[in-house]
Structure 1
Amino acid sequence: MSSLISIVLPVFAVIGLGWLAQRRGWLGDGGAGALNAFVFRIALPPLLFLAMARTPFEAFGQWRFLAAYLSGTAGVWVLVWWLAPRLGFNGFQARWLTCLGATFSNAIYLGIPLFETAFGALSAQPVILIALMMNLLLVGGSLIVLQAVSGEGTRAAIKETLSNPMLFAIGAGLLVSWFDIALGDGADRLLSLLAQAASPVALFALGVTLGVAGSGVRFGRPQWVLLVAKLFVHPALVALACWGFQADAINAQAAILIAAVPAGSLVHVVAARRGTLETESAALILLTTAVSVVTLTLLLEWLL
């Protein structure tokens, strides 16, 4: 258990430092935006690119864990869609955002750093593929669906989804892996240096974002019910699906761990853009992140 605490505690300590810095006002008004922009546009793309480029192309044929993750996520979505009106979330948009909060994991800002810490920096490829799939399907899909339902048109949402730097970085990395292209020493060092900054800055930025979103939130019964769906039901269904699809061990571990990661901050971003459930989504993110300190420690004890 002490070794697991040494894995989990530093990860959440960096998040806590980011939260403290925001609450103390050490970063100024634009700190959260600048940090998130650095992670999303500068540091994260090299991390994703190198993870793909350094993976033998044959490894990308392992689709079973992706199907398992998608199946488990779909099961939670159906369950929460049914539960949402009973929790006071009525209407298509509110129900959709409730499902998004119960199924979208913070894979980029928390899942990748945690998985790298537990399993090694070279093992993050399955996590990255899950993160890409969920960002495209859940976040990109939510923007498109909600704009279409509201009658606002979908062109801008589709353009925003396809211009995601993650998509380009992973695509370029896949091409390098496919054609077995050797990177020059200078380019490799530059990309590696930026990639090393991605995880710690992402964790710190997550703490800052939680500090911004957490002002004045309240935790009610709906948040606790959704917490159970996110931190317990989601990984349980994904684990069952991994067994059913006979996913490889390391890929199954990645899928189960990412399913157990707390709700992602992009849920709050989507809710804010739609002007619906802003406070509720912030409360869910804060609550699941806090409780996951314990649940992820226990899960890692089972996985490792």
Structure 2
Amino acid sequence: MAAVGIGLDDWRAQGRTLLFHRHEIRHWMAGPVDAEPLLLIHGFPTASWDWHRLWAPLAQRYRVIACDMLGFGDSAKPRHHPYSLLEQADIQQALIKHLAIDRPVHVLAHDYGDSVAQELLARHQEGRVRLASCVFLNGGLFPETHHPVLLQKLLLSPAGFLVDRLFTRRSLAVNFAKVFGPQTQPSEAELDAFWQLIAKNGGAAVMHRLIRYMPERREQRERWVTAMQRSDVPLRVIDGAVDPISGAHMVARYRELIPQPDCVLLDGIGHYPQVEAPEQVLAHYLAFRDRLPPTDAPQHAEAV
């Protein structure tokens, strides 16, 4: 099944708006209304367009759902907001409620979105949300194995607000060149699209606030790792092995800490496997899902 991409303009045209505490959250949905729901959660510093190569193939089987989280992409980017991973999980739950999803949700997450998914796993354990499965792409599941690039370190420093002002499309290209695989570098057109999404609504000015997810990961580590260790939710990691941030070294730690670890390493692939190797990600994701029993269908499925 080919992973056919969607141009950014076409992607944006398909979006809808949800109000969350008076902030506009752009979201997308596709696929059969009565199919199993699949929530896609994007990473930092990009947006849900990251999934555009997987969107149509996944929508052939599942009811795919995604949003640009607060501070990202085409959603609101309030300048002085105290951004939090916990609030981003609240947004995912608000989206599920808004779309009247009344059955367990499958999750496919990446990077920053992995942390949001970990919080959802912890809430599943607490009976606050119902998950059916969770697959992580490259992300900082364990703070001790997360190796931030220099830009992330600078954003987290007291001078982070100054770094925002110096961040440009060229800065993005330089940093992405370091984290993508050597043979799977982003094209100029992809970099243009990524930059448009970051720059929309003055987004570069809030990056030093969004980066606070890094200490928040440390604060929540025990809760989130315990949730993964005790989870009754099927888990898989699909990871670009040469990612310097959260590549093979993160998977090695996952295998140490998580019982019966289900891990797939993609040779030569970097931090953005859904962009660099979408057909491999799709194949490994579908193989994972094909092993799972279907969740119960809702009694009254309605179009949204």
Tell me, yes or no, whether TM beats 0.5: no
Report which of the two has the higher share of helix.
1
